Structure 1
Amino acid sequence: MAAGKQVMVIGADDSEESHYALEWTLDHLFKPLGGDTAPFKLIIVHAKPSVSSVVGFVGPGAEVLPIVDADLKKMAARVTERAKEFCASKSVTDVVVEVMEGDARNVLCEAVERHHASILVVGSHGYGAIKRAVLGSVSDYCAHHVHCTVMIVKKPKTKH
């Protein structure tokens, strides 16, 4: 890690909200300063779901598992490549992209702890109370469990 730089972890997935959070962060916290003079070392973390969490324990037979695993790996590669290309297009050079297997909530909390991050950035899917209660909110979980600042970036709603 570069001397004096704090670490920022950004959660990345294949959603528009995640991409917007990365774009907003780079435009507002990195672009004015440039890649090498930015105050943060950027760690972009993608949580690749485990095959068992996608297929389930009572799902189809074992012959499907390698296919699902290959698809999850392709998606992770797509997410990480998109993030790398976007950072390069914004001249942000002090960036590391990681893929960790597991639930996004746990993966992001572990990444914050492992890298001693001072800030975690996550996008908001904008779920209502019922959806959030059923599906769980990554941003809500992280805000309550990490020991650093959490910035939740919301994508503006489009007006019709």
Structure 2
Amino acid sequence: MEESGGRRMKMKVMVAIDESEGSFYALKWVIDNLITAMATVGESSPQNDGMVYLAHVEPKVQNYVYPIGPGGAAFYPTTVVVDSVKKAHEERSAALLARALKICHDKLVKAESIILNGDAREMICEAADQMQIDLLVLGSRGLGTLKRTFLGSVSDYCAHHAKMPILIVKPPQHSRKH
């Protein structure tokens, strides 16, 4: 991208990261094909040509009420249980983002990570809009029609609701499971 006067503008790219290999393939694709291409067009290095934001969404931990005992007395999970689940989510998020940040660091690409809480589809679109992201990148898990109908597809939702260009990166044909 260029500003007036021929100066290069820094592109802000958000890559959604989850536990799927598709999201990591998308990150590697962005680094190898987009960030590197941007650097070779100008006279700058990849580390000075834009920013990659790695976004991971943790699901909200809900306090559910379970009727138990005579008369349907309610049981609420203790704070210890809820805190334990939250801690497990945080540890998983930290591990995923550390892996993604290492990939960026190894390729000399500037990256920052953000952790969002809530519905992945909505949170990714909202964060990308608020951060004024230039390009939103999502990996494709290759869900079949039936699974996509019941589970919903984050990439499908973002393709219809994101306010910026979106790129859905599919893994090579041989690595997709049928």
TM-score (normalised: structure 1)? 0.87
Q: Structure 2 stretches of 5 or more lacking a match?
A: 1-7, 40-44, 67-75
Q: Residue in 1 aligned with 2:121?
A: 105
The 3-state SS of whatever aligns with 2:163 is: coil
Larger radius of gyration: 2
Answer yes or no: is the 8 Å Cα contact 2:133–2:164 preserved in 1.
yes
Pairing 1:84–2:95 present: no
Alignment size in residue pairs: 153
Match of 1:150 in 2: 166
Match of 2:59 in 1: 49
Deviation at 1:125, TM superposition (A): 0.6
Give the aligned residue type for 1:154. K
Change (3 A) 1:90 1:144: same
Does residue 19 in structure 1 map to residue 36 in structure 2?
A: no
Q: Distance in 2 between matches of 1:24 and 1:138?
A: 19
Conserved 8 A contact 1:7-1:117: yes
Deviation at 1:58, TM superposition (A): 4.7
User: Does 131-140 or 97-106 show the bigger shift?
Assistant: 97-106
Contact 2:51 2:109 in 1 (8 A): no
CA RMSD of aligned residues (A): 2.0
Cα distance per residue 1:114-151 (max 9 Å; x no partner): 11112100000101111001000000000000111110
Residue 9 of structure 1 contacts residue 121 of structure 1 at CA under 8 Å; is this kept in 2? yes
Write the letter of the residue equivalent to 1:85.
K
Unaligned runs of 5+ in 1: none
Q: Which residue of 2 aligns with 1:6?
A: 11
Report the Cα offset of residue 8 of structure 1.
1.1
Percent identical across equivalent pairs? 35
Is 1:125 the equivalent of 2:135? no
Task: Name the CA distance, whole Å, in 1 between partners of 2:47 and 2:22.
Answer: 26
